[in-house]
Amino acid sequence: MHGDCRVWARRLSAKALERSENMPTAQEAFSGTISRSMKLMVLAQELYEGESEATDPFGDRRIIHQDMARAGIVLSVAAMDAYFTKKYSELFVPFLKAKGATPDLVRMLEAAGLDVEQALEMIAMERPYRRIRTLIDCHLERKATQRFEAIDDLFKSYGLSKLCENAQKKTGRKRLLRSIEILVERRHAIVHEGDLDKYGRLSSIDFKSMRSRVASLLVFVMAADGILEAFAQKLNRKTTF
């Protein structure tokens, strides 16, 4: 895998690099995806509640409307997952410039496939940090951050401990993380089991509850983003002066 990542990084053209700089930020990408999720769930509920025994005697249409809500649940967790890996990547080079090659960062770069050969090549490069960012992006594509332990473990390499707990504290909602855990568990049931229980029966969707949990996920990510943006500003001040 590391070899594939290195080959891919080497083959990036100047045009591709320019395109990558115009990619949406972690926060922008999250906002777009979570918005799609929430709109889909609102529409699913409206369609579901608009059905009756007369319009849907066998319940097939109502199952389809619930499947739309299931898609919304999967999208919401995907939005959170993508946000944290992308945000970590955005902070990598600023942290490297401000703090230097800490042991945790060195381990991350080694895991991403940076070897002696590539390190020597970067000495002569016009934009070595861009190559580093590309390697980290490639590496993080294979990392899932749907569990709070995984999120905390990732950002611990920046010296940020208990990021998820601190984000929850910032919101003032003591059970925020548990609400999102339930949402993530439901996502897993949908993706891995088709949302069937152990008897092979389709689990019903509580639209109000699921929409509330998606809203909790939005609150959580925005709180975490506030913490990470403040951290990014500190890093930038250290490299400016």
Mean pLDDT by 10 residues, the chain (241 residues): 43 42 86 97 97 93 97 98 94 89 81 63 64 76 84 93 97 96 97 95 96 97 97 82 50
Residue 195 lies in a domain: yes
* CA pair distance 61, 103, nearest whole angstrom: 55
Would 37 be classed as within a structural domain?
A: yes
User: 19 lies in a domain?
Assistant: no
Q: What is the DSSP string of 97-156?
A: HHH-S-HHHHHHHHHHT--HHHHHHHHT-S-HHHHHHHHHHHHHTT----SHHHHHHHHH
**How many domains does the structure of the chain reveal?**
1
Report yes or no on 211 lying in a domain: yes
Stated pTM of the model: 0.83
Looking at the domain assignment, is residue 17 inside a domain?
Answer: no
pLDDT, position 39: 96
Q: Are 17 and 130 in contact (CB under 8 A)?
A: yes
Domain range for 107 is 2-11+25-236
pLDDT tens-place string over residues 185-213: 999 999 999 999 999 999 999 999 999 99
Q: Which pLDDT score, from 0 to 100, does residue 21 have?
A: 55
Q: What is the per-residue pLDDT for 108?
A: 79
